[in-house]
Chain A
Amino acid sequence: MSAVVIEGVSKVFNAGRADEVTALSEVDLTVGAGEFVSLIGPSGCGKSTLLRLIADLIPPTRGSVTVAGKPAAQARNDQEYGIAFQQSGLFEWRTVLRNVELPLELRGVSRTERRSRAAEMLALVGLAEFGGHYPAQLSGGMQQRVAIARALAVHPPLLLMDEPFGALDEMTRERLQGELLQICATTGTSTVFVTHSISEAVFLSNRVVVMSARPGRITASVDVDLPERDDAARQSPRYFDAITAVRRELRGGGVPAAS
């Protein structure tokens, strides 16, 4: 079963008004189980809108969104996905551990179980000993890791991420990318990842979906086949080839490779 199926989806904001915006037009996208798909494109191409449609935070104007074989609204109610935004969005009045517990709490998981599960998730993102801290005590990168732990706490089959590393410095970014890949590999989670960094998209993804703006639509899909995704991979010819391919598509496509 595919993790996400999007068919003929359009999204129009402020329909019928002077400030009407067509954010997405006739989008089709399928994300397979266990697949890591990045959405990349210039600002205003509707990549975040597409992610929000999958998350059922906004309804589509036309078309259908299916998550884990169910309509998006039902998938949201069943908490079939975990989500992380560019801002970690941690609740400052809760300790790190209690932040990670939040989705479990809302699901009615018993106290002892959510304690242990949240602790397990914090260990996964390497913050086991920071459970008792408050978010304000952590650096930006650590806060983002907590947000990822929170997104993973319900063991969702699908992880939705909207530029989660966008506000971080390059070094922290690369380290978290590695950690994210490891987590996805161990948990078998499918991932939809919104970014505007070509290298980030290529390094992380099985497939990079390129979008263009006005109206937002998918223009190309670049398969990335890296044997290993480690620091050595960042130097490999395949990696650079994929980057070139994505960049070409972003520039408008059609032009043959220089090689």
Chain B
Amino acid sequence: MRRLLWTLGGLALFALLWEGYKLVGDPDGTVLFGVRLLPRADDLSMPHLVDVLQRLGRPELTGGRPVWTVVLQACLFTLGITVAGFLAGAVVGLLLAVLMQRFRLAERGLLPYVILSQTVPLVALAPLIAGWGGTVWPERMTVAVIAAYLAFFPVAVGMLRGLQSPQAAGVELMRSYAAGWWRTLLKLRLPAALPYLFPALRLAGAAAVVGAVVGEISTGTRGGIGRLIIEYSREATSDPAKVYTAMLGAAVLGLVVAGLVSLLELPLMRHRRRVEVVTM
């Protein structure tokens, strides 16, 4: 309940800043020595929030469906891609982390490439994967692969750190119970890794959204919110509020994914509740 209030408060603050800046900001932006320090505050660059919300209710094109249904549908399409990419990325990340924990050699051999993978520009990679689209699998699967490509990284790194987190006492204890690697993984390493896994999953969720949106744009996949942003931005000069409806949709999509990920956490982190220490 309290968290909800904080969220609403944050939204209100954002709206206040936006409209406040529009009120006091220079419509042509503040330029100092040829460098634009503050953005333009005119209605073309920063439409009133009310206009954006109103634009959601009006038809996309004359006689067409209202914008909000189009944005919602696009968001759902991208959400599907994001979830698929997130799940695939999380599974790959988990498996990589377990592999690297199990074999020192794998850690030394793989970890540099895991890090390297994230420095390859996504736009360079997208056309490569896009080649499979439409032949081996539908086009949106290609976008999901790109999302997964971004999502696996925080999971692999965070999870590896988590799997290596148990102290020697815990590991020796498992050894004293004659527990092998597998049972030590199940009973000790995996549960110990959870506090590291959840922040990693949140990062992965955000990365999957970015991957899906950027992936749609760079592969030219139709139907998603990324594509919609591009389409609407072409009309930005005549209908500036329209592109902001699509951006709003993307932002809400990000929030929804973040919310879904944090839901995963609830049942598994019961022991992390704030508790009082009993002393006697």
Contacts and interface: CB of A to CB of B under 8 A. Distances in A.
Contacts of B178: 76-79, 106
B175 interface: yes
Contacts of B187: 91, 102, 105-106
Nearest to B175: A57
A94 B278 CA distance: 17
B194 interface: yes
Contacts of A57: 172, 175-176
Given A79-B177, A102-B177, A93 B280 contact: no
Contact of B167 (A55, A87, A133, A142): A87
Contacts of B266: none
Interface residues of B, number: 23
B184 to A, nearest CB: 10
A248 B56 CA distance: 89
B176 A76 contact: yes
A52 B276 CA distance: 35
B191 interface: yes
Given A92-B271, A137-B276, A137-B277, A81 B173 contact: no
A44 B176 CA distance: 23
A96 B183 CA distance: 20
Interface in A33-88: 52, 55, 57, 76-79, 81, 83, 85, 87
B136 interface: no
A10 to B, nearest CB: 21
Interface residues of A, number: 30
B13 interface: no
Contacts of A92: 271
Interface in B68-111: none
Contacts of B276: 137
B35 interface: no
A83 B172 CA distance: 10
A87 B169 contact: yes
A205 to B, nearest CB: 22
Contacts of B191: 91, 93-94
A89 B183 CA distance: 17
A77 B170 CA distance: 17
A240 interface: no
A103 to B, nearest CB: 5
A85 B177 contact: no
B275 interface: yes
A139 B279 contact: yes
A78 B178 CA distance: 8
A257 to B, nearest CB: 40
Contacts of A136: 271, 275, 277
A139 to B, nearest CB: 5
Contacts of B175: 57, 76
Nearest to B191: A93
B188 interface: yes
B194 A142 contact: no
Given A83-B176, A138-B278, A139-B280, A106 B183 contact: yes
Nearest to B269: A93
Contacts of A105: 187
Contacts of A79: 176-178
B194 A93 contact: yes
A79 B177 CA distance: 6
Contact of A89 (B169, B275, B277, B279): B169
Contacts of B183: 106
B170 A91 contact: yes
A94 B280 CA distance: 21
Nearest to A74: B178
Given A83-B172, A102-B177, 11 more contacts: A85-B172, A87-B169, A91-B170, A91-B187, A93-B194, A103-B177, A106-B178, A106-B179, A130-B278, A137-B275, A138-B278
Interface of B: 167, 169-170, 172-173, 175-179, 183, 187-188, 191-192, 194, 271, 275-280
28 contacts: A52-B172, A57-B172, A76-B178, A78-B178, A79-B176, A79-B177, A79-B178, A81-B176, A83-B173, A85-B169, A85-B173, A87-B167, A89-B167, A89-B173, A91-B188, A93-B192, A94-B271, A102-B177, A106-B187, A107-B177, A133-B278, A134-B271, A134-B275, A137-B276, A138-B277, A138-B278, A139-B278, A142-B280
